[in-house]
Amino acid sequence: MQAIERIPQLEARARVHRQQIVVDSLLAIIGVLLITGFMVVLRLYPAISTVSILYLLLILPLAMWRGRYAAILAAIVAVLAFNFFLVPPLYTLIMPTSEWLALGVFLLTALVTSQLAIISRKSAEQAWSRERETRILYEMMHAVNSQMTLDEQLDVIALATVRIFAAWGMRECALLLPDEKGRLLIRAEAPIQIESFTLSPEHLTIAHQVLVEGKRRVVSNVVFSSGEKGYLHLLPLQIDGRILGVLALHIQAEKRFLTLEQALDEQGPLDDQRAFFWIFLDQVALTLDRTRLRTATLGL
């Protein structure tokens, strides 16, 4: 399954932890104090009235690499430190109105430039994400088309689904297709090491309702083959109003910053990663439809 291994995986969004906030705070405060100390030692103010612009050498990199919180904190601390250590009377926050106005302009400039830096970084990240998502779909289609029989292609779809969304909490996946009598059968499952993707009679009944109604269903507190508990999502695979089958997903119950639980929330905001999941689901349905048509044509 080297073709599967070539398919890129999505990355989960990192949650902002307390440790990250502490590090950002220390970088902002210590960085500002170092620049202020440099100004004091060399007596750059008031000899150079615009010397406060040196703080931008810290604020912009913080905005690019650490985010909005670190940049805003650095800008605020810079205004206070500049006033306290450099503007007479020293070691107080008392100064003429003109100086407060100048520092206010500096603070506004720092915030605007840091915001522009953040927007630039996010644009680059979005471009990288679009490229990665395009490659995911291309590699999956290539892996599916490299197989000859329907069962092999279904196995590739199941394996690719688990691999791509593993960082979002997906643990197991199965493709359920109706037979000639309309009964749903598990035709493919992933990952390979699971003994079998089992559904209770109750879950099979729910899956059949999904096949008939075309509406997704969620079952909580489901025990996976590994013994882990999570959610069972049953999603209709449909194209042009035709429901081809049901995609069953076992999703880890652990709460993450962005999980498939959130991606599957139809009431939530349609961000880029949620949009990609639904595009991926449509692509699976389209691939399944083409695969079945091709298999029927060739008699495989």
More confident residue, 270 or 55: 55
User: Is 137 within the bounds of a domain?
Assistant: no
Determine, yes or no, domain membership for 206: yes
The predicted pLDDT at position 105 comes to 86
Among 124, 159, 178, which residue terminates a domain?
A: 124
Examine the domain organization and report whether 116 and 255 are in the same domain. Answer: no
Return the residue matching tokens 């990250």: 20
- Share of residues in the chain with pLDDT > 70 (%): 87
Indicate the residue among 124, 139, 158 that finishes a domain.
124
pLDDT of res. 210? 92
* Any domain includes 40: yes
Q: How many domains does the chain have?
A: 2
Considering 124, 156, 174, which residue would you say is the last residue of a domain? Answer: 124
Same domain, 73 and 176: no
Gap between the Cα atoms of 169 and 261, Å rounded? 9
Computed over every residue of the chain, the mean pLDDT equals 83
Residues 118 and 260 in one domain: no
What per-residue confidence (pLDDT) applies to 258?
Answer: 41
Please state the pTM of the whole predicted model: 0.73
Same domain for 171 and 208? yes
Tokens of 17: 């932890």
Residue partners of 225: CB distance under 8 A and separation at least 6 = 172, 194, 195, 196, 197, 198
What CATH number has the domain bearing residue 163?
3.30.450.40
| 225 and 265 belong to one structural domain | yes
Q: Are residues 201 and 162 in the same domain?
A: yes
* Digit-coded pLDDT (tens) for 192-220: 766 677 788 899 999 999 999 999 898 88
Give the mean model confidence (pLDDT) for residues 73-77. Answer: 92
Greater pLDDT, 1 or 286: 286
The answer to whether position 140 is within a domain reads no
- One domain, residues 78 and 155: no
What is the residue range of 26's domain? 18-124
Asked if residue 276 and residue 164 are part of one domain, the reply reads yes
The tokens for 215 are 């509406």
What pLDDT does residue 194 have? 62
Q: What is the pLDDT of residues 39-61, one digit of tens each?
A: 999 988 888 878 888 999 999 89
Residue 32: inside a domain: yes
Q: What does the pLDDT read at residue 16?
A: 56
How far is residue 128's CA from residue 25's CA, in Å, rounded to a whole number?
A: 28
Question: Do 280 and 164 reside in the same domain of the chain?
Answer: yes
Both 91 and 162 in one domain: the answer is no
Look at 270 and 90; give whichever has higher pLDDT. Answer: 90
Asked whether residue 138 is domain-assigned, the answer is no
91 in a structural domain: yes
139 lies in a domain?
no
- 96 and 162 share one domain: no
> Same domain for 49 and 106?
yes
